[in-house]
Amino acid sequence: MNILVLLGSLRNGSYNRMAMNSAEAVAPKEMQFEFAEIGDLPLYNQDVENAGIPAPVVRLKDQIRKADGLLFVTPEYNYSMPGVLKNAIDWASRPPKENPFNGKPCAIMSASTGMGGGAKAQYHLRQSCVFINVIPMNRPEVIITKAMEKFDAEGTLTDEATKKIVTAFMQSFKEWVERFH
């Protein structure tokens, strides 16, 4: 089972990268993970698209097509998903007739130092999923609050309650993806 991870944070030491690594560590053995590099995508511009799809965009679209499922891991910036993630979605979903997201199952998780845990970013991401026809798993949810208290200096998830939630989430995600294949 090929899972493509779209990480909404470009920072190496981000809590969402730590959450992503933690999810992979507890995932069922049938799940194989591939990371989508979205930091090298140009800003979406229809003039650029009309002149020819940039190589990083072609790569991303190919990765999405080959994936059995998508795992979005995103921080929350200003009550929404980061621009880099929205930009990746905009590029990959165009033109609409060639949308590789169409009908793909996905799961969404987030981590934040605040009490909201990235819930508003997840909400906005789910709104985008409607239009591109990605089908999110609704439950269980992973919304990691106060992330600075749940990961150690090496980026390991140390909070046992959160680890149990992430483990159940990944098992449910495996089962969700299986429903589509």
Residues 51-86 have pLDDT tens digits of 999 999 999 999 999 999 999 999 999 999 999 999
- Give the pLDDT confidence of 106-115 residue by residue, as tens digits: 999 999 999 9
pTM: 0.97
Q: Determine the Cα–Cα distance for residues 56 and 52; give it in Å rounded to an integer.
A: 12
pLDDT of residue 51: 97
Q: Which amino acid is at 20?
A: M
From the list 21, 22, 181, 167, the residue with the least C-alpha distance to 105 is 181
Phi, psi of 4 (to 5 degrees): -95, 125
Residue ranges and CATH numbers for the domains of the chain are: 2-178 (3.40.50.360)
Name the one residue in this structure whose structure tokens are 């934040």.
112
pLDDT of residue 138: 96
- Under DSSP, the state recorded for 148 is G
